[in-house]
Amino acid sequence: EAQVTQNPRYLITVTGKKLTVTCSQNMNHEYMSWYRQDPGLGLRQIYYSMNVEVTDKGDVPEGYKVSRKEKRNFPLILESPSPNQTSLYFCASSSGNGYTFGSGTRLTVV
Amino acid sequence: DQQVKQNSPSLSVQEGRISILNCDYTNSMFDYFLWYKKYPAEGPTFLISISSIKDKNEDGRFTVFLNKSAKHLSLHIVPSQPGDSAVYFCAASAVSGNTGKLIFGQGTTLQVKP
C-alpha cells in the first residue's frame, strides 16, 4: 500500500530535550515536506526537500532541522524543543503535483 | 503575510444542497491550486486540483473554479452529503506545481446536516 508513515503518533516531551520524528514513504517520490497544523493558522510548511541532499526552508523553519540522506526518509529534528512547538505535525511526499500526507504526530512540549 | 486565505472558518449546509468553499490568494506567481479534505485524527487527503491555464475542473460531485483576475478560487460540492463534513484546505504553488513549496490556507470546517 502506498503510504507515508510517520512515528511516533503521539509524543510528550520536556523543554530542551532533543527529539526526532521519523518519516518514510514507499512511493519513490522526489519531494518530501514537513508541515505543522495550529488552530486558526492552517497548515504551515516547515521544510521541504526536492531530492536526496536537497532541502529548503518553508515558512516556519525556526527551531527545526531536517535531513534527506535517503530518498524514502525525511526525519524532523527538534534540537531544543520549546512549548511553542507544541503542535500537530504532518509529513508528506509528492512526485510533483500535490502531496500525500501521513497520519500526523501530535507533539506536546511541557 | 498569509498568501493563501480562507476567510470563512466554518460553513453549514443541508444535505443535498450545494456547498461553496472560497479561497483567495495574493501571489500572482501561483499557477497550480489544490483542495484537500481533512477528517479528525487523519492527515489531509487530496481532493481536486486546477492549473492556472484552466478556469474550471470537475470530478464527480466536486468542481473547482479559478478566477485569476480576482485571485480567487472556489470549491463546489453538489449535492452535499453528511460524509463531506470535514475541514477543507486550499493550497497553491508556483512553477507549474513542480515544486516542493506548497502554501495552505487556514481551512474551512464544513458541516453537512442530514
The pLDDT tens digits of the residues spanning A32-67 come to 999 999 998 999 999 999 999 999 999 999 999 999
- How many CA atoms lie within 13 Å of B36's alpha carbon, on the beta-carbon side? 25
Q: Which three cell numbers stand for residue A26?
A: 514507499
Across all residues in chain A, what is the average pLDDT? 95
d(CA A45, CA B111): 26
Average model confidence (pLDDT) for chain B?
Answer: 94
Given a contact cutoff of 8 angstroms between Cβ atoms, the answer to whether A19 and A78 are in contact is yes
Count CB-CB contacts under 10 A for residue A110.
Answer: 9
Distance of alpha carbon A76 from alpha carbon A90, whole angstroms: 10
| pLDDT for B96 | 62
* Smallest Cα distance from B46 to chain A, Å: 7
Q: Do B43 and A103 touch (CB under 8 A)?
A: yes
3-state secondary structure at position B40: coil
Contacts 24+ apart (CB under 8 A), A25-30: A25/A72, A25/A74, A25/A91, A25/A93, A25/A100, A26/A2, A26/A72, A27/A2, A27/A3, A27/A93, A27/A95, A27/A100, A28/A71, A28/A72, A29/A71, A29/A93, A29/A94, A29/A95, A29/A100, A30/A71, A30/A94, A30/A95, A30/A96
Half-sphere exposure of B105 (CA within 13 A, CB side): 31
- pLDDT bucket at A97, cuts 50 / 70 / 90: confident
pLDDT computed for residue B41 by the predictor: 87
Q: What pLDDT score does B94 carry?
A: 85
Q: Which among B98, B101, B105 has CB closest to A42?
A: B105
Q: Is A21's pLDDT higher than 90?
A: yes
Mean pLDDT of the B105-112 span: 97
Distance between CA atoms of B66 and B2, rounded to whole angstroms? 19
> Which pLDDT does position B7 carry in this prediction?
92
Is a pLDDT exceeding 90 seen at residue A98?
no
Q: What is the pLDDT of residues B12-42, one digit of tens each?
A: 999 999 999 999 999 999 999 999 999 998 9
Chain B, window 72-111: residues with a beta carbon less than 8 angstroms from a chain A beta carbon:
89, 91, 97-107
Peptide bond into A61 cis (omega under 30): no
- Nearest-Cα distance to chain B for A73, in Å, is 15
Partner-chain contact B49 A98, CB within 8 Å? yes
Distance from CA of A44 to the nearest CA of B (A): 7
> What is the pLDDT at residue B95?
67
Could you read off the pLDDT of B34-93 as tens digits, one per residue? Answer: 999 999 989 999 999 999 999 999 999 999 999 999 999 999 999 999 999 999 999 999
Residue A14 has pLDDT above 60, yes or no: yes
Tell me, yes or no, if B63 comes closer than 8 A to chain A by beta carbon.
no
